[in-house]
Each structure stands twice: as structure tokens, then as C-alpha cells.
With several copies, the nearest count.
Chain A
Amino acid sequence: MVNTKVTLSGITLDNPVIPASGTFGYGYEFAEYYDINMLGSFSFKGTTREPRFGNPTPRIAECTGGLINSVGLQNPGIEKVISEELPKMREVFHKPVIANISGFSVDEYVYCCEKINKEDQVGIIEVNVSCPNVHHGGMSFGTSPEAAAEVTRAVKAVTSKPVYIKLSPNVTDIASIAKACEEAGADGISLINTLMGMRIDLKTAKPAIANTMGGFSGSAIFPVAVRMVYQVYEAVKIPVIGMGGVSSAEDVLEMMLAGATAVQVGAANLVEPFACKNIIEDLPRVMKKYGITDLNDIIGGAHK
């Protein structure tokens, strides 16, 4: 028997595999196909204060080993998420979920986190700081240590649940941003969000995405994600949730060796609806292959 249980801020997960926000809806889409209670947890679609349709279509473009999306945080807004989506989620998923919160101002983050903090279904609040800061020139909160720390502090002041800051990889120095969040009170770090990418349609000579650019993810970005998880693990003491291109049980082990306590799976869910199920079922075999009996033994193992 192998042990796949890991613990994030006091919450024990049966396994480290967590579908990433925006690629698993509110869970019930997948619950039609398999019992999603086998998951460690899942991070639901990014939630904002107001309902959002998101960006114009086309919002999807294919790349080698991945895709670009510019969904633009389509969601029904925090009130409806709480009144309609959470009850539906509760029917199909009986473990603590991760609430992914986005915002375009510090106030918006605070507003949403305060609301979601009251929901006992929510185990962890994952604060996505990749969105543009409308009050400060549109650069994302996640691109400066100060802005990321500011969001962290503000959110921590209104929540009692563990707060994980989800970082953008489109930065010069990811470690300093993670460190700033830790110092501001973050309970953990989630990374990476999508790399900014772009494709051009040769037939039209126009950007393939209506919004010009979008977020690039999928197996192509895995080496960047592993590198950043490794760097952040060196920089902070709080737990790291690693993601970016994970699509196999081997990838889960590699992320954990880099320093992740748990691992999220994003784009892989879209093209392989049973990706998380397959990964979880394959984990014990792959652990045995590499002589691992307890996943906790390998967290950060590549730093030794």
C-alpha cells in the first residue's frame, strides 16, 4: 500500500490531484461522467463580484502541446455562485472545495473573499492575482511584489480560511512575489497561471483570439511551471500547489519533487475528460515504479 494523502494548511486530501480553476466548471459537468469524490479537491471557476460574460469569441486557439484561452473570467458573479452553484456542487462533491477568486481592484477581492469565507463547503480560498489592476495602469496584481502583497493582506484581514495566492508566471522574478505574499500572510502559493501567448491565423492575417492575446497552458508549459515551483519552494516556507501542463501521474511526481504539496491539472481536463481520474488511478503504479511509498517523502525532493 502506498500513501497518497497530503495536507494543505490542515486540510488532508486523499490525493494531491486537484482540477485547476476554469477547466472543471463547477464540478457537476464532470460528475455526470465519474464520481468526482475521488479527487483530492477541486478549484472552481474564477469568481468575480459582478457577473461576467468574459471576452468575445474566438476565445480558444490551438498550440503545439497546449492551447491559448481568453475566456476572460466568465462567471455568474459571487452572489449567484454562492446561491446557485455551491448548492449544486455540494450534491456531487462532499469534500472541501477550493474557491478561486478574481478581481480588478483590491476592494473586489475583499468583497468576494469576505462573502465566500462564510461558506463551509470552501476549504481554501485561492486568490488569482493574474487579472489586470484597473486602478493601476492595467498591469496585473501578480506582476509586482507590492501589489500582490497588498491583495494578500487585504484578503487575509477578512477571512478565517487558508488563503493561497495564485501567481502569474509572466514575471521576471517569481520568487520575490511569492515571498512578498508569504510575508503579507498568505497560507500558501498556487502556481502557475497561464503564460501570455498569441497565435495569428494565416488565413485572415489576424490574431486567432478575438482579444489578440490570451493565456497559454497545457503540457508545453510544464518545464516553466516546474522551474517556478522549484524557485518558489526555495523562497518560501508555506505550501505550494503546483500546476502548469500536468497531464500524467509522472508529471505529478515531478511537480512534487520540485516542491509542490499538491498539484492541479488544467488544460488536460479539456481534451481528456477523464484526465484526473486516470492520473489518480495511475498514481500508485507510478509511485511503486519509482520506489515511493509515501508522497509526503518526495515533496521538494529535488532540492536535496
Chain B
Amino acid sequence: MKQSLFTIRKNESLTSTVFRMVLEGETSAVTGAGQFLNIKLDGLFLRRPLSICDYDENTITILYKVVGKGTEVMSEMAPSVSLDILTGLGNGYDTTKSGDRPLLIGGGVGVPPMYRLAKNLINEGKKPIVILGFNTKDEAFYVEEFESLGVEVIVATADGTLGTKGFVTDIVKSLSNYTYFYTCGPEPMLKALSDCTTTSGQLSFEERMGCGFGACMGCSCETKYGNKRICKDGPVLEKEEIIW
């Protein structure tokens, strides 16, 4: 965990409610895909946790959906504004278990962490299949970005306006030759995936957070391996340990 100031370099809309923000600053605390950062916003007491979509030596990219006060304020911020951010939070995905052909399944605002994860897996010489689920075409984002990584991308929309009509689970059920799965998205989707996947996998969870770095026990959950803090021992849990 590191606390430092970042400067907004880009802040642009991808859909009517989803934005991409590129932040410049000290990124040394970020150690892998699936981690998150925690942003302090003026006038709001709690920091806002957001997944890291991508990063390099001096920038971090996040994708966020406007759902309340904090994300609304963020969507109105201009480049060059600086933000107090905690980085290097959370365990992140473990890529060593992926096998050759892991599935990466992102639903809605669960899509962002899949991007860096896909990149890392490709770098490790693996052939991930990326499945992205959205409600409708207008809410879809980052499809091209995933495609330009050179991976196979399958899109599902609930209303069929883009890609396959249906849920990501419909697609997962139709696949058989995958070696592992990684996912992030709404909890009902995670549960459904846990049920319909035939391999082990890692699932990333959300919880209301007091601190985001393990101090308050605000985000605890019970697992088969004992109590865990989503912020510190997660947000990524293994399929086998989860108690639904």
C-alpha cells in the first residue's frame, strides 16, 4: 500500500455512464492485475475503491461507472486535477494457476480488471478467451481494446443488441476446452459462474469498505478457509473457498 498524489491526464466517457480515467503518478505499489486503488474525494468521508484496468511505470487507467455522489464528482473532473490515492491494495489474480486456455469473464463494471489480466496472461504465453457481458449495446465498452490485444473476445448482451443474446453463463456453458477461469462482476453472475464452470477459478468480490487496507474488518466474509477481508485477503477469492 502506498499513499500518493496522482494527476488526472485523461477523463473521458466510454458510454453514457462509464468513464475512463488515466492517472499519472507513482505506480510502484501496484503488483498485479485484479488489485484496486482507493481514491479520496473532497467532501466525501470514505475513499472510493476502483479496480486497476491497466498500468505502466507512471500511469494507472481505471474505468468507472457513475452510480452515486463520488463517481459523479469524478466524472466532472478536468485533466490536471490531482487526487490523493492509495495504491497497491488487494491480492489480485494469481496467474500461475491459469493453465493454457483460461476464461476471463467480465460483467459490466467487472470488465476493467480483466484487461490487465488478459495482457499478463498473454505475456506469459497463454491463450485467454475473454467473455464480456453487458445489458445492451449502448452500455458496452472496451470490446475493441480487448480485441486489439489479439485474444478471442466473445460478447454477450442481455437484449442481444451486441454479440450473443443472453448471459455470460450461456457462453461459458457452451465452452469446454478451457483450463481455468477468472471473473469479476455482479455477485449473482459470480455465483452463476461458480455453479456452471467445470474448472477451478478465481472470482473478484465487492464489499462496502471502511479502509480498503485491512484495518477495520468492515469488509469481512466467511470462507471455507476462515474469515477473510475482501480488501486485503481479497478481493479475489478461489472458487473452492467461497461460501455462497
Contacts and interface: CB of A to CB of B under 8 A. Distances in A.
Contacts of B77: none
Interface residues of B, number: 25
Interface string A56-68: 0111111111110
B216 A270 contact: yes
Contacts of A41: none
Contacts of A66: 45
Contacts of A164: none
Contacts of B214: 25, 29
Nearest to B222: A53
Contacts of B208: 57-61
Contacts of A65: 45
B213 interface: yes
Contacts of A24: 215
B219 interface: yes
A57 B211 contact: no
B170 to A, nearest CB: 28
Contacts of A54: 217, 220
Interface in B207-242: 207-211, 213-222, 227, 232
A67 B220 contact: no
Contact-residue bracket for chain A: 20 to 34
B215 A69 contact: no
Nearest to A74: B217
Contact of A23 (B209, B216, B227, B232): B216
B38 to A, nearest CB: 9
Contacts of A219: 45
Interface string B145-188: 00000000000000000000000000000000000000000000
A53 B220 CA distance: 8
A33 interface: yes
A67 B1 contact: no
Interface centre among B207, B208, B213 (most CB of A within 10 A): B208
A65 to B, nearest CB: 6
Contacts of B232: 29
Contacts of A267: 45
Top 10 nearest A-B pairs (CB, nearest first) are A270-B211, A60-B218, A58-B208, A60-B208, A74-B217, A60-B210, A62-B46, A29-B214, A71-B217, A270-B210
Interface of B: 1, 3, 40, 44-47, 86, 207-211, 213-222, 227, 232
11 contacts: A32-B1, A45-B217, A57-B218, A57-B221, A58-B207, A63-B45, A66-B45, A71-B217, A218-B45, A219-B45, A270-B218
